[in-house]
Amino acid sequence: MALARLSLARLPGAQFWKLCGSGTGEGFTPIPNTQVWAILTVWEDEASARAGVESASVYRRWRRHAAEEWTVYLSATSARGAWSGSAPFVAADAPATGPIAVLTRATLKARALPRFWGRVPGIEAVIGGDPNVMFKIGIGEVPWLHQVTFSIWPDVASMAEFARRDGPHAHAIRAVREGNWFKEELYARFRVLGDEGAWGGSSPLAPDERKAA
């Protein structure tokens, strides 16, 4: 991870990047999973993204050490909030009519940590049991403090139905707002442009595939 930071800082065409670890289970736990890692990079355009992922030394080095890799290419359709003080995603695409990806990111206040993580098992169970979600994972820059959720849904309607449904997820959102648990937060939606590689032996975007983190 440390070596990748140096390489990404000098990567031509990369406008923003983050290196993230993941949690065990569905990824939404505070216990690190040392086998699953994520590189998030914002590029000038799709061509630059595909070329960079294919040829940049940092990606080639990670691929040599990986038993499996999966890359998904996205174009932002909406974004609000900040990540490390900046707005990395520019909504330049129309709302998606097919699969959509949703990313949420937050920096937690120290006083909110026990209450936030106490709600995670219920949320993990609900999203893990949702038949519509095509892919989901919890990742983070710093364990316990900087958290990211990433999920892919077949369409806006299925994602919105999950978000509105009364249950652990909705209750947690209300608690976050009422308790002011976050120092910084960001919410973004994306159109899925395509993917390469595999997760668990196949593409999570393939028809009838539903892969867990």
For 73, the token pair is 């290419």
Higher per-residue pLDDT: 187 or 213: 187
pTM for this model (two decimals): 0.83
- Domain encompassing residue 63: 2-197
> Is 157 within a domain?
yes
**Does residue 137 lie within any of the structural domains?**
yes
Residue 206 inside a domain? The answer is: no
96 vs 73 pLDDT, higher one: 73
CA 37 to mean position of chain CA atoms: 11
Residue 211, pLDDT above cutoff 50: no
Residue 14 clears pLDDT 60, i.e. is over it? yes
Q: Is the pLDDT of residue 212 over 80?
A: no
**Residues sharing a CB contact under 8 Å with residue 27, sequence separation 6 or more, in sequence order:** 33, 36, 136, 137, 138, 139, 213
182's CB contacts (< 8 A; 6+ apart) are: 106, 107, 108, 109, 112, 176
CA dist., res. 139 & res. 31, Å (int):
11
At residue 103, the 3 state secondary structure works out as strand
Q: Is residue 213 part of a domain?
A: no
Give the mean pLDDT of the chain. Answer: 81
More confident residue, 134 or 1: 134
Task: Report the CATH number that the domain containing residue 140 is assigned in CATH.
Answer: 3.30.70.100
CA angle 24, 28, 33 (to 5 degrees): 25
The band of 209, judged by pLDDT with boundaries at 50, 70 and 90, is very low
Residue 160: CB atoms within 10 Å: 11
Dist CA 23 CA 27 (whole Å): 4
User: Based on the structure, what is the number of domains in the chain?
Assistant: 1
Residue 166 lies in a domain: yes
Residue 210 lies in a domain: no
Cβ atoms < 10 Å from Cβ of 104: 16
Residue 208 domain-assigned? no
Q: Which one is predicted more confidently, 11 or 95?
A: 11
pLDDT digit string, tens, across residues 128-161 = 566 778 998 888 887 767 788 899 999 988 888 8
* pLDDT over 70 percentage in the chain: 76
Specify the pLDDT at position 125. 57
